[in-house]
Protein backbone atom coordinates (compact mmCIF):
# COMPACT_ATOMS: atom_id res chain seq x y z
CA UNK A 1 0.00 0.00 0.00
CA UNK A 2 1.24 3.49 -0.82
CA UNK A 3 1.40 6.28 1.70
CA UNK A 4 -1.56 8.64 1.77
CA UNK A 5 -0.58 12.25 1.17
CA UNK A 6 -2.21 14.60 3.64
CA UNK A 7 -3.16 18.01 2.36
CA UNK A 8 -3.40 20.92 4.75
CA UNK A 9 -5.54 23.97 4.09
CA UNK A 10 -4.54 27.35 5.42
CA UNK A 11 -7.08 29.72 6.96
CA UNK A 12 -7.92 31.72 3.79
CA UNK A 13 -8.69 28.45 1.98
CA UNK A 14 -10.86 27.22 4.86
CA UNK A 15 -12.77 30.52 4.95
CA UNK A 16 -13.34 30.35 1.19
CA UNK A 17 -14.43 26.70 1.18
CA UNK A 18 -16.70 26.94 4.21
CA UNK A 19 -18.10 30.43 3.73
CA UNK A 20 -17.73 31.38 7.37
CA UNK A 21 -15.60 34.00 9.08
CA UNK A 22 -12.40 33.46 11.05
CA UNK A 23 -14.05 34.27 14.39
CA UNK A 24 -16.83 31.72 13.77
CA UNK A 25 -14.28 29.05 12.84
CA UNK A 26 -12.33 29.56 16.06
CA UNK A 27 -15.49 29.83 18.21
CA UNK A 28 -16.82 26.58 16.74
CA UNK A 29 -13.46 24.87 17.22
CA UNK A 30 -13.73 25.65 20.95
CA UNK A 31 -17.18 24.04 21.16
CA UNK A 32 -16.19 21.05 19.02
CA UNK A 33 -18.46 22.08 16.15
CA UNK A 34 -15.57 22.63 13.72
CA UNK A 35 -12.45 20.56 13.08
CA UNK A 36 -9.34 21.40 15.07
CA UNK A 37 -6.34 22.85 13.32
CA UNK A 38 -2.78 21.51 13.42
CA UNK A 39 0.42 23.38 14.18
CA UNK A 40 2.55 23.35 11.03
CA UNK A 41 5.51 25.22 12.48
CA UNK A 42 6.10 28.60 14.03
CA UNK A 43 2.80 30.44 13.95
CA UNK A 44 1.49 28.55 10.92
CA UNK A 45 -1.57 26.34 11.34
CA UNK A 46 -3.61 24.32 8.90
CA UNK A 47 -6.63 22.07 8.73
CA UNK A 48 -6.64 18.66 7.13
CA UNK A 49 -8.55 18.86 3.87
CA UNK A 50 -10.26 15.57 4.74
CA UNK A 51 -11.52 17.04 8.05
CA UNK A 52 -12.96 20.07 6.26
CA UNK A 53 -14.61 17.88 3.62
CA UNK A 54 -16.17 15.69 6.34
CA UNK A 55 -17.43 18.81 8.15
CA UNK A 56 -19.00 20.10 4.92
CA UNK A 57 -20.70 16.76 4.28
CA UNK A 58 -22.09 16.80 7.83
CA UNK A 59 -23.46 20.31 7.27
CA UNK A 60 -25.20 19.17 4.08
CA UNK A 61 -26.65 16.09 5.80
CA UNK A 62 -27.93 18.19 8.71
CA UNK A 63 -29.51 20.68 6.30
CA UNK A 64 -31.32 17.86 4.50
CA UNK A 65 -32.30 15.98 7.66
CA UNK A 66 -31.98 18.28 10.67
CA UNK A 67 -31.35 16.65 14.00
CA UNK A 68 -34.17 17.30 16.44
CA UNK A 69 -33.53 20.14 18.87
CA UNK A 70 -33.86 18.37 22.19
CA UNK A 71 -34.21 20.86 25.03
CA UNK A 72 -35.46 20.02 28.45
CA UNK A 73 -38.17 22.20 29.89
CA UNK A 74 -37.23 23.89 33.12
CA UNK A 75 -39.92 23.87 35.75
Q: What is the pLDDT of residue 3?
A: 73
Distance separating alpha carbons of residues 64 and 75, to the nearest angstrom: 33
Is the pLDDT reported for residue 14 higher than 90? yes
pLDDT digits (tens, 9 = 90+) for 15-59: 999 999 999 999 999 999 999 999 999 999 999 999 999 999 999
The Cα-based distances of 45 to 4, 39, 41, 71 in angstroms read 20, 5, 7, 36
Q: What is the pLDDT of residue 75?
A: 55
Is the pLDDT reported for residue 74 higher than 80? no
pTM: 0.79
Q: Which domains does the chain have, with CATH numbers?
A: 8-64 (1.10.238)
Amino acid sequence: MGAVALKYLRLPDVIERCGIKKSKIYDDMETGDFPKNYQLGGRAVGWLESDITAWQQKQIKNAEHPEPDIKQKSN
